Amino acid sequence: MLYMHDLWVNWFEGEENGYNVCHFHEWRKEDGIELVDQIPLLLIDEDLFEFIENDLQELPKSMLDDIHKRTYMKKNQERKTIDYAAVVTDGRSVLVFDTLGYSLPVKKSRLIPRQERLVFDMVEGKRPSIYELDNPTPKEYHILSLSPEKMAGLTRRERQLKQLLMMALDQLRHTDHPEEVGYWLTEWDPSQYELMKELTAEAAWQRLYYGTMEGWSKQHEELCGKLIKGQPFFETMWQSENQKSTKHLKSQN
């Protein structure tokens, strides 16, 4: 088995979508980078890599058996054994996971570019290990888990705010005041005003949802900021993301 040593990881916990496991250029100082002393490296096929990167389902038992207690983390000069963790690659992309003792990839991280290149060098010319998935459930994307295509090209901040917008829209769909939906649709697209009289609340919501799910713009951001006003939970998320992204930009300049 191949092993890597002294890896810097930036864990993203509970993320089922790979676009939320940020690449190195989007890491932030407050993320809490950790050092992995030793960890196994597995070359796997594209389907299994996609499954690990973009889902939170059970990993093949044979894979878990192969990597059991082969990872060590270093913290305060102490070496801690990790039950199930590995670096995986399909030869094109790289991901690190830690199951936290469970059988699914609860924590995920990317690698810094130099260590990514080392992964590709180490697996060059080798055949992937074959692990069979046991009846995986097909992945379904929805308003609270948009498909990668809907997040393509967005920055970390934009992805976070887009998810916040989708959460607010999901809440709006179940409002006790259907007229609110029409208001926000015309706020998003004033040209819909005349048509609003003929639309049901659900039809208006569908137009708003499908109109906002593509890309990200100043218009998206303005709608999100207005839609969450007066909702403490959403406002806290909005403020937190804006503060973090501002700090990140300042640290880069």
Rounded CA-CA distance 123/155 in Å is 30
* pLDDT tens, residue by residue, 188-207: 999 988 888 888 999 999 99
Rounded CA-CA distance 99/94 in Å is 17
Strands 78-82 and 71-75: antiparallel
Rounded CA-CA distance 224/87 in Å is 37
- List phi, psi (to 5°) of 229: -60, 135
Q: What single letter denotes the amino acid at residue 73?
A: M
Rounded CA-CA distance 88/71 in Å is 13
Strands 78-82 and 34-43: unpaired
Answer left, alpha or beta for residue 89, where phi above 0 means left and psi between -120 and 50 means alpha: beta
- List phi, psi (to 5°) of 52: -70, -40
Q: What single letter denotes the amino acid at residue 171?
A: Q
Three-point CA angle 225, 27, 160, nearest 5°: 20
Q: How confident is the model at residue 75 (pLDDT cuts 50, 70, 90)?
A: confident
- List phi, psi (to 5°) of 35: -110, 125
Rounded CA-CA distance 224/218 in Å is 10
- List phi, psi (to 5°) of 132: -90, 130
What do you get for the CA distance between the two ends of the chain, in Å?
42
Output the pLDDT for position 178: 86
Q: Residue 89 contacts by C-beta under 8 Å, 6 or more apart in sequence?
A: 41, 42, 43, 44, 49, 95, 119, 120, 123
202 to 10, 141, 164, 185, 205: CA distances (angstroms): 41, 20, 20, 11, 5
Instruction: Indicate the helix (H) or strand (E) that contains 41.
Output: strand 34-43
Average predicted confidence (pLDDT) for the chain: 94
Report the pLDDT averaged over residues 17-31. 95
* pLDDT tens, residue by residue, 141-183: 999 999 999 999 999 999 999 999 999 999 999 988 888 999 9
More confident residue, 39 or 243: 39
Report the pLDDT averaged over residues 11-23. 97
Model pTM above 0.85 = yes
Output the pLDDT for position 198: 87
Inter-residue contact 43 to 130 (CB < 8 Å)? no
